[in-house]
Chains A and B, each alone.
Chain A
Amino acid sequence: MNRSFETEINQIDTTVGKLPLAAAVVALGGLADAVYLTVKHFTGEAVPCSVVEGCEQVLTSSYAEIFGIPLAAFGALAYFTAFSLAILAAFGDRRMWNLFGVQVVLMAIFTAWLIYLQAFVIEAFCQFCLISAAITLILLTIFLVSRFLRAR
């Protein structure tokens, strides 16, 4: 085998191996965001809205709950699951990385719907919801990059 090609393969393997760990760290950020919003929902306190306008409008809308459970609580559960799958994958369990991929694709679809609701139905944005959307996008990107590198 060509020496430089072998080195490149090793580098790709190392990068691919680190990606689940990076995903786990990012998922923790999403978990913190979702837990914060869940707590604020239950305490009924106003959420700071310094970057965009309309946080209250979004967080008190009829879309903020499903069966009486705040959407943010489902988000926290999703991020915790993503974190767990990424950690298991980082320690060598490949099947968990595939499950992680399925989950982040579903999360991204749901996130796209929530962004649509904010933009066109509620016509207001909530910055913590946008942070969560960005985190989901990063998780999806990490997974797609890992797939791309492995395909090479």
Chain B
Amino acid sequence: MENKKNINTNNTNINNNTAAKSKLPLALIGLALLATIAGGWWLLSSSKSQTAQSNTAKSNASNANAAKKPAVDETAALKIYENAPSGATPPNLQGSPTAAVTIEEFADFQCPTCATVHTKMKEIIAPYGNRIKFIYRSYPLIQIHKNAYEAAVAAEAAGLQGKYWQMQDQLFVNQPSWANSQNARQTFEGYASKIGLDMAKYQSDVVGLPAKQRVDADMRRGQSLKISGTPTIYINGKTVDFSQFDVQPMRQLIDAELQKAASGGGAATSQPQTNSVANQTQTINSANQTAPNVNAAKSGSNIKEGK
């Protein structure tokens, strides 16, 4: 009787052990799932603050590195920048063509990161008005983005009617709806109509040479500068380290350049005037502007050297 009781107890223990053992892998899988969700959430929520912190740290590190690097590298990089083909002339430009600080962006309309940067760039440059010169250049990565070139041409065709920036905005904001479209041209016509273009002229310009030649000129400039990806941003001829790209770090770089220009006798002031600045942003279209002033102020320790 006693033995039978022991056997029953042992059986119960074995069953309990087996049950526990069969639950362990499921528990581990559940744990991994929870850890994945928690990790992803943590990355997502902390990415913004981390970016801001690392930008500051990188900015400081970049300052230190810039101080250590021989000046000859910087001079050589600037020389390459200055000697590169001028790109579309006159360029698509916002701000003042005579401003001491030039921000030049090479971007691809079909690149998702460029669309994100587009939104942030508007926020970055808004306070500066005519104290800066912002040049946007098309650099379609035609090997991987099938609609990028046509989008750039569509923007230039709109520019021929003085509405480059409106079209640029439409293309970036609506990027997901045309990026993989088989008939992007029709979608672009919709945007052209939406921003009030003369459709007959647009349809003629979009297949004509002048718009394409402007895109090709920008591409030649980008190729000459050996741009390895989009977006690539220059401030006064020096490449901005893209890992530093955000509103505040960019404004710090611009402010530093403005300060240098001011202390060197330039017309720019040192701090952005954040009031009523949106109204100051001047949209200058391709019909009546001069070539980009690539010989503007050359100094600025916060900026990484050109590639």
Q: How would residues 81 to 122 of chain A score, 1 for a CB under 8 Å from any chain B CB and 0 otherwise?
A: 001100110110100000000000000000000000000011
The closest CB in chain B to the CB of A32 belongs to: B39
Given A39-B44, A56-B113, A57-B228, A121 and B245 touching (CB < 8 A)?
no
**Interface residues of chain A: helix, strand, loop or mixed (majority):** helix
Assess whether B264 is interfacial by the CB under 8 Å rule: no
Assess whether A7 is interfacial by the CB under 8 Å rule: no
Size of A's binding interface in residues, CB under 8 A? 37
**Does A44 lie within 8 Å of B112, measured CB to CB?**
yes
Given A38-B40, A124-B229, A61 and B243 touching (CB < 8 A)?
no
When A and B form their complex, what is the total count of cross-chain residue pairs whose Cβ atoms lie within 8 Å?
Answer: 88
Assess whether B48 is interfacial by the CB under 8 Å rule: yes
**Does B32 lie within 8 Å of A62, measured CB to CB?**
no
The residues in B between 214 and 232 inclusive whose CB is less than 8 angstroms from any CB of A are: 228-230
**Does A60 lie within 8 Å of B36, measured CB to CB?**
no
Q: Write out the residue numbers on chain B whose beta carbons fall within 8 Å of the beta carbon of A31.
A: 32, 36
**Among listed A8-16, A45-53, A140-148, interface-contacting one:** A45-53
Q: Write out the residue numbers on chain B whose beta carbons fall within 8 Å of the beta carbon of A84.
A: 29, 32
**Does A54 lie within 8 Å of B43, measured CB to CB?**
no
**Does A53 lie within 8 Å of B228, measured CB to CB?**
yes
In the bound assembly, the distance between CA atoms of A60 and B230 in angstroms comes to 9
The closest CB in chain A to the CB of B21 belongs to: A91
Assess whether A71 is interfacial by the CB under 8 Å rule: no
Most buried by A among B28, B144, B176: B144
In the bound assembly, the distance between CA atoms of A35 and B32 in angstroms comes to 12
In the bound assembly, the distance between CA atoms of A56 and B43 in angstroms comes to 19
**Leading 10 A-B pairs by shortest Cβ distance:** A44-B116, A56-B229, A61-B144, A39-B43, A91-B25, A60-B111, A57-B229, A84-B29, A87-B25, A35-B40
Q: What are 25 A-B interface contacts by the 8 Å CB criterion?
A: A35-B39, A38-B40, A40-B47, A43-B44, A44-B112, A45-B47, A46-B113, A53-B228, A54-B228, A54-B229, A56-B230, A57-B144, A61-B144, A62-B179, A80-B32, A83-B32, A84-B29, A84-B32, A88-B25, A90-B25, A91-B21, A91-B24, A91-B25, A121-B143, A123-B143
